Structure 1
Amino acid sequence: MTKPKVAFICVHNSCRSQIAEALGKALASDVFESYSAGTETKPQINQDAVRLMKKLYGIDMEQTQHSKLISDIPEPDIAISMGCNVGCPFIGKPFDDNWGLEDPTGKNDEEFKKVIDEIQKQIMKLKDRMTNSALG
């Protein structure tokens, strides 16, 4: 049985969606495949996100991920918007969920950590929901 594909989407695919992809792979790869993408790309992943993910989780996102367009990933079974405060991208289907996360770009480490912590909580909730729905 193939695992469902979950896509974490935000406009630039450089910060929140990248964090979600990394945490999804680290914490829920037994339940779903994680991808991230955007409607635009950035030349590199947000360096504060990279630094803090290394520090907090030992994950080096620059080794395993890069900024991708929606057309660069497999068609997702579940599409999650990171937050539409910058305008939701159109991905060809409705979003299954909107996590409503503020973009921490340019903010201090504490604000980044709050967003990372919230993404981690949301990943675990999604994993639990998907595990429970698969059981019955």
Structure 2
Amino acid sequence: MTERPTVLFVCVHNAGRSRMAAGFLQHLAGDRIDVRSAGSAPKDAVNPVAVDAMAEVGIDIGAGEPKLLTVDSVKQADVVVTMGCGDACPIFPGKRYEDWELDDPAGQSIEAVRPIRDEIRRRIEGLIHSLEH
């Protein structure tokens, strides 16, 4: 683990779960942790319902476009958190991997996305604690 760990969040579209997770980690950890996200099959834009759900808690995740997962992005990460991307994420020895089973917010209402958002925040708080202690 480096002095300033790098966390990579990966989901299929890099438009919902991974974006919400990255938004929470950036918001809660600031510059103590380098935050990245990517998708195995990225969409053209971030999920607008995910953007709205995060805006409700004061976090803007609407900027930027979903990014394609690359081997280099995994190599550069200390921690890789996958969220439903199956076997698309390459595995490298010495990396810490976590698989978070979370419902996909794609096509869901804001009412359905709020509990997903809140669960992601809970897991992010635990991740920060584990990285800083």
TM-score band (shorter)? 0.7 to 0.9
Which runs of no fewer than 5 residues in structure 2 stay unpaired?
none
Conserved? CA contact 2:52–2:110, under 8 Å: no
For residue 41 of structure 2, what is the amino acid of its counterpart?
A: E
Q: Which residue of 1 is the match for residue 62 of structure 2? A: 62
**Range with bigger deviation, 123-132 or 106-115:** 106-115
One-letter amino acid of the counterpart of residue 105, structure 1: A
Work out the number of aligned pairs and report it.
128
Identity over aligned pairs, percent: 33
Match of 2:114 in 1: 113
Aligned-residue CA RMSD in angstroms?
A: 2.1
The 1:20–1:67 alpha-carbon spacing in structure 2 relative to 1, beyond 3 Å, is same
Report the CA distance shift for 1:106/1:95 in structure 2 as closer, same or farther (over 3 A): farther
TM-score, normalising length: structure 1: 0.83
Name the SS of the counterpart of 1:14 in structure 2: coil
Deviation at 1:92, TM superposition (A): 4.2
Inter-partner Cα distance in structure 2 for 1:2 and 1:69: 26
Contact 2:78/2:96, CA 8 A, preserved across alignment = no
Match of 1:34 in 2: 35
Q: Contact 2:6/2:77 (CA < 8 Å) preserved in 1?
A: yes
Aligned residue for 2:99?
Answer: 98
Unaligned runs of 5+ in 1: none
Matching residue of 2:54: 53
1:97 and 1:82 map into 2 onto residues whose CA distance is 9
Cα distance in 2 between the residues matched to 1:47 and 1:24: 19
Q: What TM-score, normalized to structure 2?
A: 0.84
The yes-or-no answer on 1:89 pairing with 2:88 is yes
Q: Is the 8 A contact 1:15 1:105 kept in 2?
A: yes
Q: Give the C-alpha shift of residue 41 in structure 1.
A: 1.5
Superposed CA offset, 1:95-120 (max 9, x none): 61011111022222222011100110
User: Aligned to 1:62, what secondary structure does the other structure show?
Assistant: coil
In structure 2, distance between residues paired with 1:98 and 1:78: 11
Name the CA distance, whole Å, in 1 between partners of 2:87 and 2:124: 20
1:76 aligns with 2:77: yes
